[in-house]
Amino acid sequence: MIGHGNNTVAGPWNFSVSAGGLNVMRGPNGCGKSTFARTLLNLIPPLSGRIRWNIRPHCRWVPQQLPLTEDYPVSVFDIVELGMWDTPDSGSPLWGLRPGKSQDKPAKQVVLEMLSRVGLEGMENRRIARLSGGEQRRALIARALVADANCIVLDEPMNGVDQEGRESLGKLVTDLAENSEILFLVITHDADWIPVQPRCYLDLSATGEVSLEPSS
């Protein structure tokens, strides 16, 4: 069961997905998709039950939008570079005080390579909050990729993206998902933009029930 505080948003659910490839969770607005994403990423605790991983999860997420106003002095380079630094919970009292870098190469090289991979070459010095919706989403995908994660959750990636941007962003997401071992979980109310058949669809109904539809 998932929700906030005493408010149950959806559930109970019982389903499993296998690692790797593109998985899509679809459902109408307000049915609990984003709450599910936050619960999956351990940003909020489940109200009951638990999420069991057969791999050691190292998740990143691409939110609908960053909590930054337009005048925030944060460049595209800053956002992607900050994604490189993380530390697993070691249980030590000093945990979190010296995060390690997820890549061995110099940070600048890794960031510039990743920006080029997501089609943001030459935009590293632009302010993140002044980019278009599609460009911001690409920068956030680059941030997730530099972390060397094995699970990337994209929350409504097409929100605020124009038609032209939808096509190229959809192609980028599916290309990345098909050519890597990373589990991509795309959460969307409208899956028409996905140009390929995903590995599976998780359908959420307005009443919060879930059904799993593996692709053939």
Partner 1 sequence: MSSLLEAWELSTGLFRDGFFALLVAAFVLPAIGTLLVLRRMPFVAVAVPGIAGSGVAFAYFIWPAIFAMAYETLDPPHTFFQNLCAFLFLALGLYWLSSRSSRERIESGAALLFVISLALSEILLLDSIYDEFSHRWLHHGHVLSILEDGRNRVIATCLILATVSIYYRRELWLTAIDREQAALSGLPERRWLLIHLSLAGIASGMIVPEIGPQAVLGLLLIPATISFPAARSLSGYAWTCSMIGVISTLLTFWLSIVRDWPISPALLVVLAIVSLIHRGIKQQFWSSSPSA
The piece of 1-9, 56-64, 158-166, 183-191 that touches partner 1 (CB under 8 A) is 56-64
Distance in Å, CB of 19 to partner 1, minimum: 18
Smallest Cα–Cα separation from 180: which of 141, 214, 208, 209? Answer: 141
Distance in Å, CB of 46 to partner 1, minimum: 16
Nearer CB in complex with partner 1: 127/171? 127
Q: What is the SS3 assignment for the chain?
A: CEEECCEEEECCCCCCCCCCEEEEEECCCCCCHHHHHHHHCCCCCCCCCCCCCCCCCCEEEECCCCCCCCCCCCEHHHHHHHCCEECCCCCCCCCCCCCEECCCCCHHHHHHHHHHHCCCCCCCCCEHHHCCHHHHHHHHHHHHHHCCCCEEEEECCCCCCCHHHHHHHHHHHHHHHHCCCCEEEEEECCCCCCCCCCCEEEEECCCCCEEEEECC
- Site residues (CB under 8 A) for partner 1, limited to 96-155: 96-97, 99, 125-127, 130, 143, 147
**Cβ atoms of 25 and 184 closer than 8 Å:** no
Residues in contact with partner 1, total (CB under 8 A)?
A: 36
| Partners of 7 in beta bridges | 4
Does residue number 157 form part of the binding site for partner 1 (CB under 8 A)? no
Does residue number 89 form part of the binding site for partner 1 (CB under 8 A)? yes
The piece of 10-18, 91-99, 181-189, 202-210 that touches partner 1 (CB under 8 A) is 91-99
Does residue number 34 form part of the binding site for partner 1 (CB under 8 A)? no
The piece of 26-34, 38-46, 158-166, 202-210 that touches partner 1 (CB under 8 A) is 38-46
The piece of 1-9, 24-32, 64-72, 164-172 that touches partner 1 (CB under 8 A) is 64-72
Nearer CB in complex with partner 1: 14/67? 67
Binding site for partner 1 (CB under 8 A): 38, 41-43, 59-61, 63, 66-68, 71-75, 77-78, 81-83, 85-89, 95-97, 99, 125-127, 130, 143, 147
